[in-house]
Amino acid sequence: MAARARRSRERTSSAIGHASINGTDIRVLFDSGAGVSTLTLKAAARAGIRPDSPGVAAGGLTGGFGRNMVPSYIAPFESFKIGDEEIRHTRLRIADLDFFGADMLIGPDFFLSHRIYVANGQQKLYFTYNGGPVFNLTYIKNGAAPSVPDSAPAPTPAGDAAPVSGAPQGRPSEESKGAVADNGDAADFSRRGTAMAARGDYDHALPVLSRACELAPDNPEYYFQRSRVYTRMGNRVLAGKDLDQTLKLNPQHVAALVSRAELLLANGDMTGATADLDSANRAATKQSDLRYEMAAAYERADRLSAAIEQYDLWIAAHAVDERIPYAQNSSCWARALAGSDLSLALKDCNTALKRAKKGSPFYAQVADSRGLVFLRLGDYPHSIADYDASIAIAPKTAWSWYGRGIDKLRQQQTAAGDADIAQAKSLLPRIGEEATHYGIVP
């Protein structure tokens, strides 16, 4: 089967194509580095499906970038067709997300269930169904992925070659039954285990990946794969041990260094996390996609100059990536906190805001970031306007209330400024200490 795809000449992990849901044309964005396949609420509405439609169930929080997440839903559709492949009576994840011109993000769950060949010269993407669920429909909550309700209807294939998706997740599949039997080498177990993990089947992925580690104890990649499963299952101790072993075998394993840094940050070890991030920075290629994660981790470790450096490197190497606006907002925020390069911060925020949907949580985040930039610049009227916009969408954002309070106090609006600061402290009691740490004071 083939689908027409358009790929930019710039380096990117994405391609654009077309599909249809319930007979309605949609524009799809293929991204093997994204989370799970998701349809926008607008596109779902065009096909007659809304979050309150019959048969729609909660799908957990999704988003992936920025400081807020949004709820997703698992919704029934009569058909999903891409290229020559059609799935009838299926279910898709929908959410109020903006894919910057595309109606649906097709992520690694689709890639895992298909063999894919990208023919750049023909501007086509060829694929054949490989087995297993086409889309990951597991409920997303705090990194866990329990199964969808047993009442989820099983789909009906459109033809002999059509894949079946939307079946209840989390149950033992034919692939996972007897998966630990000695019928393959370490690489076979690794492929099976990572495919199960990508579908949220962690209970079955764990013994399969453990077998890969047993068969090839000197291969760092297998320990790293298992560490990710332990992390998803909430077992930080065993995840840490596997990451230690990965780095013992390969001290320059960038992904393991970043993962261990994130684990150390969660445990409050800023010194150890920073050391791992510095090692990852030295080992990573200039254009590495992991620099996005490194930037966020450096920011959490309060290494703002290092975070800004990573954001700049990542943005320069991913000019047409759909995550660009989120990276620009994060870069703007880091510079605003640091009080450095404010003209560049303003430029990043302005660009991100142009691509944000008005009224969306992401729009509120960028407005909050730009509000702090204007506050730093002493442009209090524009800062207040941005904070007003942010609070109107996300009224529980303490930083917006606090920043607006400072704006008003500096304009001699004492009562109004004090009221805003009091509201900020009611939402986040430590906001005053955090702001003072960055030199942001009334």
Q: For position 23, which CATH number holds?
A: 2.40.70.10
Instruction: Give the least confident one: 15-24, 117-126, 323-332, 333-342.
Output: 117-126
Average pLDDT, the chain: 83
Summarised one tens digit per residue, pLDDT across range 91-140 is: 899 998 877 678 898 887 787 777 777 666 666 777 777 666 778 777 66
Q: Could you tell me if residue 138 is inside a domain?
A: yes
Given 94, 126, 157, which residue is the final one in a domain?
157
How many structural domains are present in the chain?
Answer: 2
Q: Specify the pTM.
A: 0.67
Q: Could you tell me if residue 273 is inside a domain?
A: no
279 vs 254: CA distance, rounded Å: 8
5 vs 98: CA distance, rounded Å: 20
Mean pLDDT of all residues in 354-367 = 93
CA nearest to 297, candidates 306, 288, 286: 306
Domain span holding position 133: 2-157
Q: Could you tell me if residue 66 is inside a domain?
A: yes
Query: Two tokens at 153?
Result: 């209807």
* Residue whose token pair is 């000449």: 9
Q: Could you tell me if residue 219 is inside a domain?
A: no
329 vs 350: CA distance, rounded Å: 9
10 Å CB burial of residue 114 (0-12, 13-18, 19+) is: buried
